[in-house]
Chains A and B, each alone.
Chain A
Amino acid sequence: MSRLDTTVARPDRTAPRPRSRHTTRIPLALLLPASLGLLFLVLPLAGLLARTPWTSLPQRLTEPGVLTALRLSLQTATLATLLCLVLGVPLAWLLARIEFPGRRIVRALVTVPLVLPPVVGGVALLLVFGRRGLLGSWLDSVFGVTLPFTTTGVVLAEAFVAMPFLIIAVEGALRGADSRYEEAAATLGANRWTTFTHVTLPLVAPGVAAGAVLCWARALGEFGATITFAGNFPGRTQTMPIAVYLALETDLEAAIVLSLILLTVSVAILASLRDRWISAP
């Protein structure tokens, strides 16, 4: 059904685009909520900037714990994103391209980490991968591997929370992609794997990149699941959001500075990526 849909709907969908670009008047009914929305998102940031102790900023930046936490955050978020790409893209493909019984349920299950409070997600991870967990006890007894309180644990917690963002983005891109190219490849003798790597992936690359960016950003800001599953130890599991939370206990200004550093670095990275890789198709 979806196949037929996309082939028929495709020309219609692209048609009205050029026309809309010529409209010059912005309807107030759209501009008003749009501006309010922007204000709502940006005002808290302005609040942070207003309270920033600019004079002590350079000194706080050079404190040893700060850079360690920042480096750990960037490393774990990147590793978590890679893990999500390896596991998430195939899962998104399965959900978008293969009809199988229970697909709807699987799709709903994929979004569970989105609705689960992250702290509960962390407890759930402990119950599975913890030292007494379903899989964790086996990992411990057979391989002597324990995941909680390790950097690997941080990556797992971040990937658990961030993967749905990637899957939803990639699945959306796959469903929007023109499947006639894949059919053409198939009629020319390409098997499913070749079609996937040579046709499908390049076709949905912008969607995958957008999903990866979302996933990375979510992983970078992850707090609840991480502190519950991986705990907090400087240099090993203390990521920036955890450092911010603990700084908040004693020193509001330190917390603001740490948040600003995290924000600046992530915005800079996202902005540069956006220009290079994620241009609107």
Chain B
Amino acid sequence: MTTRRLRTAVAAVIALAVLGLAGCGGDGKSAGREPGSASSDVTGSVTVFAAASLTESFTQLGKDFEAANPGTKVTFSFAGSSALATQINQGAPADVFASAAPANMKAVIDAGYGDGTPTTFVRNQLVIAVPKGNPDRVGGLADLTKPEVKVALCAEQVPCGAAARKALDAAGVKLTPVTLEQDVRAALSKVKLGEVDAALVYRTDARTAAADVDGVEFPESAGAVNDYPIVVLKDSANKPAAQAFVEHVLSDPGRAVLTAAGFQAP
């Protein structure tokens, strides 16, 4: 008697859960696949997944784009490129993906989520971020091996860490960092907080913290340049606007914003 009751109850729970899941799945699909409005004018919203290092410049580009195309709304999700790639490959509703590294873009393209071929829109280079005024007088990579200089690098799993490894190898410098940070902004903030004396970060990141941090250029960074690719996504609900945003990023005014932030033209 009791077991039967229990069994019915469990069956009811499972049925309910399955119904609930099915309902959610259906909703998601219809919302995600709905084609954009019939009009050919660029309107509606564009969701851009962009690498964290693009936060300042893309926010500006979004504002410019909205001003140039009344009726559009650009929403950003800034995070590490690999996290964004994972989200896109798990079905996150995005229209445009701008990655800080070709590897993460490749993951999205290989999974079949890209629409066309990605375009490299900027390049970024490493600098040595040091506290304002450069108290340890760091002039190049070799100075980072001094025992009294504490160095933060990015972990090799993230783009800035891979680039740092390349640059250090190119310079033949062996150094033991105190920490391998999870992303470039974390490494930069360790310099800002004074916990380390130097960190290898992108020039653009050092520039966002210009009030507290100086960026020391070094020649070996030329051998570890990062390409930033951008692409419209296949499942975009508003492809005309997504395409228009990408064109805006590649346009001369768009380039100007990116160059001002410290990026190089490809």
A interface vs B, CB < 8 Å?
Answer: 24-26, 28, 31-32, 35-36, 39, 123, 126-127, 130-132, 148-149, 227-228, 230-234, 237-238, 242, 245-250, 252
Q: Is B190 an interface residue (CB 8 A)?
A: yes
Cβ contact within 8 Å between A250 and B13: no
Closest to B6 in A: A26
Cβ contact within 8 Å between B9 and A232: no
Cβ contact within 8 Å between B195 and A232: no
Cβ contact within 8 Å between A231 and B13: no
Q: Which of B5, B10, B80, B179 contacts A149 (CB 8 A)?
A: B179
| Bound complex: CA A55 to CA B233 (Å) | 34
Cβ contact within 8 Å between A126 and B195: yes
Q: Which of A32, A233, A248 contacts B82 (CB 8 A)?
A: A248
Residues of A near B194 (CB, < 8 A) are: 130-132
Residues of B near A252 (CB, < 8 A) are: 86
Residues of A near B180 (CB, < 8 A) are: 231-234, 238
Cβ contact within 8 Å between A36 and B193: no
| Bound complex: CA A91 to CA B186 (Å) | 34
Task: Give the most central of B150, B178, B186: most A CB within 10 Å.
Answer: B178
Interface residue range, chain B: 20 to 34
Residues of A near B9 (CB, < 8 A) are: 26, 28, 31-32, 35
Q: Which of A126, A228, A234, A249 contacts B80 (CB 8 A)?
A: A249
Binds A, one of B91-99, B132-140, B152-160, B234-242: B152-160
- Helix, strand, loop or mixed for chain A's interface? helix
Q: Is B227 an interface residue (CB 8 A)?
A: no
Residues of A near B195 (CB, < 8 A) are: 126, 130-132, 148-149
Q: Is B177 an interface residue (CB 8 A)?
A: yes
Q: Which of B2, B13, B157 contacts A249 (CB 8 A)?
A: B157
Q: Is B181 an interface residue (CB 8 A)?
A: yes
| Bound complex: CA A250 to CA B158 (Å) | 8
Q: List 10 A-B contacts (CB under 8 A).
A: A24-B2, A31-B9, A130-B195, A132-B195, A227-B186, A228-B186, A231-B190, A242-B182, A249-B158, A250-B157
Cβ contact within 8 Å between B12 and A231: no
Closest to A149 in B: B178
Q: Is B17 an interface residue (CB 8 A)?
A: yes
| Bound complex: CA A227 to CA B158 (Å) | 15
Residue-by-residue, is B196-222 near A (CB-CB < 8 Å gives 1, otherwise 0)?
A: 000000000000000000000000000
Residues of B near A234 (CB, < 8 A) are: 180
Task: Give the most central of A39, A246, A249, A250: most B CB within 10 Å.
Answer: A249
| Bound complex: CA A26 to CA B12 (Å) | 14
9 interchain residue pairs of minimum CB distance = A231-B179, A249-B157, A132-B194, A149-B178, A35-B13, A249-B82, A250-B157, A246-B157, A232-B180
Residues of A near B157 (CB, < 8 A) are: 246-247, 249-250
Cβ contact within 8 Å between B178 and A245: no
Closest to A132 in B: B194
Task: Give the most central of B82, B155, B181: most A CB within 10 Å.
Answer: B155
Residues of B near A242 (CB, < 8 A) are: 182
| Bound complex: CA A238 to CA B155 (Å) | 11
| Bound complex: CA A26 to CA B13 (Å) | 14
Residues of B near A227 (CB, < 8 A) are: 181-182, 186
| Bound complex: CA A234 to CA B156 (Å) | 12
Residue-by-residue, is B1-45 near A (CB-CB < 8 Å gives 1, otherwise 0)?
A: 010011001101100110000000000000000000000000000
Q: Which of A25, A228, A232, A248 contacts B5 (CB 8 A)?
A: A25
